Every structure is written in structure tokens, then in C-alpha cells.
Structure 1
Amino acid sequence: MRISIRAVAVTAALTTTAAVLAAAPASAGRDDARDDKAGRGAAAVRVATYNLSLNRAVEGELEADLSTTTDPQAQAVAEVIQRTRPDIVLLNEFDYVEGGVAADLFRENYLEVGQGGADPIEYPYAFVAPSNTGIPSGFDLNNDGTVGGGDDAYGFGLFPGQYGMAVLSKYPIRTDDVRTFQHFLWKDMPGALLPTAFYSPEEQNVLRLSSKSHWDVPVQVGRRTVHVLVSHPTPPTFDGPEDRNGTRNHDEIRFWAEYVGPGRANWIYDDEGVRGGLKPGSSFVILGDQNSDPVDGDSVPGSIQQLLENPRIVDPLPTSPGAPEAAVLQGGANATHRGDPRYDTADFADGAPGNLRADYVLPSRQLRPVGAGVFWPVRSDPLSRLTGEFPFPTSDHRLVWVDVRVPAGR
């Protein structure tokens, strides 16, 4: 049974719907890693991020595709989720449809129907909200002499909500306590890397930091609240010498580092006008396609290290057997990478940038990791049909999961 509740805020339509628990199969990791062997009331929760590329080129197309039960890509990405069975999962590149319609259709027609021999999975709790992608800024943000098109939107997109996000959960979402930061202005971040020589003062006064949005989604796990902090920073490419996308990517990542930091971060304001970062001592997990590899690719140096080296954050270093195999077989840029391919999460073009670690599940130190992985099977594994080669049956990104121990109590 799914119970849908809508809460309309000043700047965003929020949707939720309620939850059941399911155990993870052995194919995704040890089942007993999620049992409370110690008997201390702690819950082992699998948290995942998945850029499933379930976006479409035309507004309304995703809703139409998900209204059926036969879309091949939707079937395949649903099977990946069914095989890994996360309790909480962020979907990146999932077009926003007002009222959460697309999320409802994806759950009802794909996740709650067994795909490829996998068991169905239910996520009666969900959160969706608008994305900056495709919303016209009214300015020539790429300085090409014309106003209009994806590059002149607040975040790149051909229509409002393209490449949006959704959070699905088996645990209750505290909808009234969700914070969204869609409208936070880039210029309002102290020390921002905003290229002021590229953007006019008028453009700086409207340019938002988030290329999609930043959300703080509190999830109730027993008596403890876990803040699920989600975003999808812009790729640090597709720009010029001003590096406007690289610097924006850096600062989108920095936002969470500051939000969970020791300072009050009173410069942060949410879409309701409430200021400040996360309350000290709160449990959290940062999820998303951060579009930043620690050592390879085109990121501004140190971008993802703002999270990986943060003393309040644990990096469980998820790996897969398929990524190292792919790096060897595909060659190209992969042969010159300095990073260990075991940690790659995205199968990008072999010429450049090659495969990278782009997708992250990063818990706070209160949430002890007890398992982690990347869904990237070797080619000889029958499930490699779900990852494949370009054109991919699912996505060029891989689902990343981490099992965390959530202590009992608040």
C-alpha cells in the first residue's frame, strides 16, 4: 500500500509517500552485514546513489514512457535497483514532473514489478522537488550573443526539470523538515570561485549556485534522524578558459562541506529563508553524482577532497570487479589515469576523460560503514547485461551503495 502526501512550500512542491523493509540479496553484498548481530537496536541501512540517465529530450516524454510497463531502459535500471536493494536511494538524471508523477509511475510500473528475474521492491516514501535545469535565466549566461537555450538556463537543460532528482526511501521522510536550496545565489557564498570577469553584475545577481538543487532530506530510521544530503553538481567541462562549470562544480561540492562543518555557516539560507547549516552532532549521508574524481578528469584540483578529507565524513571506498577490467579492455585515457580503477563509478568516453569516480555515498562518522560496493559486474557475469557497453542499456554511471550502522536513539 502506498500513501501519498503532498506538502506545498513557497518555492517547491514536495511529495512523499510510506515504507517497508527488505533484505539485500547476496549478489549485492552479504545479507548478514545488515542484521543487528550485536542486538543493540542499531539498524543496518543500505544507502545508494544512482545516476540512471532516466532523462528524456522532450518535456513529458519520461512521464509517457513510465506510463507503460515496457520501456527497456526503465526496466533495466529498475532491475539494477532490485538487484542491489538499497533502503534509501537517490536518483540523479530523473526528469522532474510536478506532483511526483514520474516517481510514482517508476515505482508502480517498474520497481514494484519484478524485472529480469529479480524480486520487486517497494519505496512508498519519496521526495521530489523542482530543479534549476531548464529554467530560463533571461540572460546570456554563455556569452554567445543570444539569450535562450539550455546554456542560458539556471542549470543546463532543454526544459524545466530535465536531469532532475528523486529520493526513494523505505523509511519515513520528515517532509515538514526538508530544506531545499534551489534559489541560493552563487555570489552569496563567501570566497566563491564565481568568475566575475565572465558574468556581468546583473547576471551575478540572479545566478544560482545549484545547477539542479541541493536538498537536506531528513529520514527517520527508528528513533534517529538521518539527514540525506543530495545534489548533482554540474560537470566541470563544456565551458571555456573562464572554467565557469569547473568552478561551479567546486563550489557546489563545497556547499555540503560547509553545511556539515563546525561553523554556523550563517551565510547559507534555504528556500524558506532559514539560515545556517546542519545542527552539530547530526547524522548525515552525502549522496550524488558529484562529477569530480579525486585525481583524474577536469575538476578544479581539490574539489571532491573537500568532502573526502573532511573530518566529519567517512569515505567507505566502494569498489567493483568490473571497473578494473573495463579500464584495461577499453584503454585510451584509462591507461594514463593515476587513480585506482577499482573505485571508478562511471564509464565515460575512452578518448577523454576515460572512466572516473564520480558518484559518492559519504556517511558521517556517527554512521559506521559495514559494507560498500559499486554495481559493475565483470563481462563474464550474466548481470553485465545491465551495464554493457555504449550505447548503454542503463546508464554510463553505476549504482554505488554503502551499508551503514545507524545507532539507536536520537
Structure 2
Amino acid sequence: MKRLLYAALLGAALITVPTPALAGSSGVRFATYNLSLNRASEGLLREHLADPSVDDVYRRQARNVAEVIQRAAPDVVLINEFDYDPEAARLFADNFLAVGQNGAPAQKYRYRYVAPSNTGISSGFDLNNNGVIDTTPGDGSYGDDSYGYGIFPGQYGMVVYSKYPIDYQAIRTFQLFKWKDMPGNLIPADFYSPEEQAVLRLSSKSHWDVPIRIGRETVHFLTSHPTPPTFDGAEDRNGRRNHDEIRFWADYVTPGGSSRYIYDDRGRRGGLRTGEQFVIAGDQNADPNDGDSTGGAVEQLLGHPLMSTRVTPDSAGGPEATTLQGGANLTHTGNPAYDTADFADTAPGNLRADYVLPRVGLQVRDAGVFWPVQADPLSRLSGVYSPAWSAVGGYPTSDHRLVWVDLKIRC
């Protein structure tokens, strides 16, 4: 059973997007959204979310990203770039998601999960090799010398919201996993000293295995946000790390020897067991055709035998943006309908960066990218780059788009 998510008159065409089936049925919508709710200092996000009545650019952005989520109405959603703060995660759910924005249906998530991120946690080493060990948050190269880039602890963190129960006792996190402990890793050994290699963590934020209970089934929601494969030099330290952060999930879902090396933050070893259901989600910062990724990074997932890739989420707004913006987009070889990130006409152009990838055997009923064309009234939620929004990154919501996949799951 489908309800209209939105409708817009485009010439003679009525554009509709289905919402997931009602609770209690077998249709479950999983989504990922890098909504750029990161702020310039610790505690500022909580301050902005505590009083939604204030009319400034920060609250408007928060209302806009909440409306995107309400329009898409996911049952389970990973949020990327949300500063680590459990209270801020509650405030966003209560003050924004649970309050209808511009006529959109309120979304109430009874369950949520948030945990620390490696971003902005000082390593005590000169990880960018500029000759200075910066240990003062917000100062100079502090972000580059942290375990994951961030100018304060937890910047650019993650949150999971769910309408279905989360098995909190079974959650596994991999924040502390050392990069060196991945066999065949791509650490640039000529860039990092032996002492630095001994402490480097693989995850730039964290990797979470969040089990979601859907009726009698458990689906492991495997969430992460690998570092962009840029902002480095010839050593390609970020590109290599991005590759291995993506590889982590490819190994984790493969039973047997491929995942035997993995250990979580409580010391439990190994990955998923044979037959366990999963959905991988997140801003992977990697496109299979274009951009600056290293060594087929995301193909490690897209080409994995356990990954369902028959249906690719798409939009009409992506191709339109490519045509209107031109620039680097015109050199791309990938299908712009699959793009999920709007980097305007600057290099590397718009890319497919965000993914929701279910396990083979989970039936995909529908999928999409929330990127309306400009003639659609809801295009105000994606918009185009404008200095008026520069305080929050230049867009009314984010330079990324929400990606969703509807799955048929036995309840």
C-alpha cells in the first residue's frame, strides 16, 4: 500500500514518491543522510536544537533537514555529520523530527543510538607531518593531528534513529580498531612513523553494527562515514584510509577467514555469522566511476557477492543538476541519476557518495534519492549553493541527499 510522499506538477507529469508501508507490515524503509548538522564549536549544536523557535540560519537548516527526513519517512535512518552529543540527538528527535515541518508528517523514532566518534580526539602525534603536534582543540592543525578530522571531540559524528527496537546489548562498535591490524592494509608506511602506525585507528569516525529487531527478524544496520579521499598529498593517506574503511564492512559481512582479524571495542572477535541479515549504510565518500577514490574503494561493496545491487537508488534532480551546473560534471562517466552529493560545478563534480546496500536475499521493493528537480516545490529543500547559507555549508540543508531503500522483511 502506497501513500503520496510529495506531488508536483511538472508540465503534464505528476511526480510521486511512495512512503514505506504502515507499521506492522513487511515493508521497511532504510535510509542514510549526511545532513551537515555539524557546528563550529562544541555544544553549539545542542544550543541550536534546544530552542527551535529562534529564526536564524542554523534553526532554519535544522528545520529543513528534519523536513527532508519527514518527507522521505524512513523507518531506520543513519545520520552523518551530527556532532556527538546524546542530548543533541534527543533534542533533534523531539523538537524537530517529531514536529511537522511545513505540513510534512511528523516522524517519531522511539529508538536511537549515538556513540563517541574518533573525530577531534587528539592522537598526540604530528599526523600531517607539518612539524607541529597540535593538541589544542580548534587550533591550527588540531583536526589533522586527531584520530579523525575534527576541530573538537565528536565533530561530524553519527546518530541512528529507528521506529523498530534496537538490540542495544548486541551493538558492536569499532572505534578503537587499529588500522595496522587489518591484514594487507594500505597504510602509507613511508609517511607515518612506526610509533604513529602503532596507534592509528582505522575508522575516521566509527563503525557500528546496530541490530534492528523487525518482528522475528534481526537486521544488522552497519553504519559508518569513511574519510574523504582528499585533503592529503602524494602519499594519499586519506584515500588509502577511505579504501580500508570501506573494506572493513566487506570483510565483516564475509564469514570465515576474511573477518577473523576483526575485534570490537569490547574485545569480541570476528564478523557476522553465515546467513545473518544486514544493511550497510553511510556516506562512503567514494564513487564507483568518478572522483578521487583509491583503488576501486566502493567496488569492494558493490562487487561483493553478498551485496544486493540489482536496484540502484536514483533521482531526476541529479541529471538536471549535471546539465545546469556543467563544469567537472560533464567529464563524468557515471550515471548522474545515481549521484547523491551536490558539489556544484567544482572538482570533482557531483558524485554518488551515499549508499544503502542490503544483503542478497532481502527483497528490494523500491529505492530512491531525495533530489527533486527545480520545478518541484520541494526543491527548496535541496536548493543550490548560496552565500546566504554559508554559515551552514552553503545549502539550505546539505550538499548530500537522503538515500532510501524499501525492503520486504518477514515479520
Same fold (TM > 0.5): yes
Which of 384, 400, 403 is residue 400 of structure 1 equivalent to? 403
* Contact 1:25–1:84 (8 Å) recurs in 2: no
Deviation at 1:365, TM superposition (A): 1.1
Distance 1:351 1:30, change over 3 A: closer
Alignment of 1:5-404 (within 5 A): 25-27=4-6, 29-31=17-19, 34=21, 43-70=26-53, 71-97=59-85, 100-148=86-134, 149-264=142-257, 265-315=259-309, 316-390=311-385, 391-404=394-407
Give the TM-score normalised by structure 2.
0.90
- Structure 1 residue 368: Cα displacement: 0.9
The amino acid that maps onto 1:333 is A
Code of the aligned partner of 2:105? D
* 1:25 and 1:83 in contact (8 A); partners too: no
Shift of 1:30: 2.8
Aligned equivalents of 1:309, 1:42: Cα separation in 2: 31
Distance 2:211 2:17 in 1: 26
Deviates more, 1:62-71 or 1:235-244: 62-71
Q: Deviations over 1:246-281 (max 9, x none)?
A: 000000000000000132422100000000011110
Poorly superposed stretches of 4+, deviation over 4 Å: none
Kindly state the Cα deviation for residue 407 of structure 1 after the two structures are TM-superposed: 2.2
What is the TM-score of this pair, normalised by structure 1? Answer: 0.90
Residues in 2 aligned to 1:290 and 1:181: alpha-carbon distance in whole angstroms: 16
Asked whether the equivalents of residues 255 and 272 of structure 2 are also in contact (C-alpha less than 8 Å), the reply is no
Is the 1:23–1:85 Cα contact (8 Å) retained in structure 2?
Answer: no
Measure, in 2, the Cα distance between the counterparts of 1:215 and 1:327.
33
Give unmatched runs, 5+ long, in structure 2: 7-15, 54-58, 135-141, 386-393
Among all aligned residue pairs of Structure 1 and Structure 2, give the percentage whose two residues are the same amino acid. 63
Q: How far apart in 1 are the matches of 2:178 and 2:161?
A: 27
Q: Note if contact 2:341-2:351 (Cα within 8 Å) is conserved in structure 1.
A: yes
The residue that corresponds to 2:11 in the other structure is: none
Whether contact under 8 Å (2:2, 2:18) holds in the other structure is: no
* Structure-2 separation of matches of 1:231 and 1:350: 27
Deviation at 1:301, TM superposition (A): 2.7
Distance in 1 separating the partners of 2:410 and 2:233? 47
Task: Answer whether contact 1:24 1:86 (CA < 8 A) is retained.
Answer: no
What is the SS of the residue equivalent to 2:5?
A: coil
Runs of 5+ unmatched residues, structure 1: 1-21
Give the length in aligned residue pairs.
Answer: 380
Letter of the structure 2 residue corresponding to residue 123 of structure 1: Y
CA distance in 2, matches of 1:286, 1:324: 25
**CA drift at 1:43:** 1.2
CA distances 1:67-107 after superposition (whole Å, capped 9, x unpaired) = 0114101000000000000000000000001xx11110001
CA displacement, residues 34-89 of structure 1 (integer Å, 9 cap, x when unaligned): 379xxxx9611000000000000100000000001141010000000000000000
Output the amino acid matched with 2:132. T
Deviations 1:353-379 (A, max 9, x none): 100000000000121110000000000
Distance 1:406 1:338 in 2: 35
Amino acid paired to 2:21:
R
User: Are 2:122 and 2:146, in contact at CA under 8 Å, matched by a contact in 1?
Assistant: yes
Residue 24 (structure 1) shift? 6.0
- Relative distance call for 1:25 and 1:86 in structure 2 (3 A) is farther
The answer on whether the counterparts of 1:371 and 1:404 sit within 8 Å (CA) in structure 2 is yes
Match of 1:17 in 2: none
1:24–1:85 contact (8 Å) kept in structure 2 = no
How far the C-alpha of 1:26 sits from its partner, in A, is 3.4
Whole-angstrom distance in 2 between the partners of 1:336 and 1:43: 42
Matched residue SS, 2:234: coil
Query: How far off is 1:350 after superposition?
Result: 1.1
- The amino acid across from 2:94 in the alignment is E
Give the distance between the partners of 1:314 and 1:348, measured in 2 at CA. Answer: 27
- Cα separation, 2, equivalents of 1:25 and 1:120: 15
Look up the SS of the partner of 1:56 in the other structure: coil
Q: Is the 8 A contact 1:367 1:407 kept in 2?
A: no
8 Å contact from structure 1 (residues 346, 398) kept in 2: yes
Structure 2 distance, partners of 1:351, 1:302, is 22
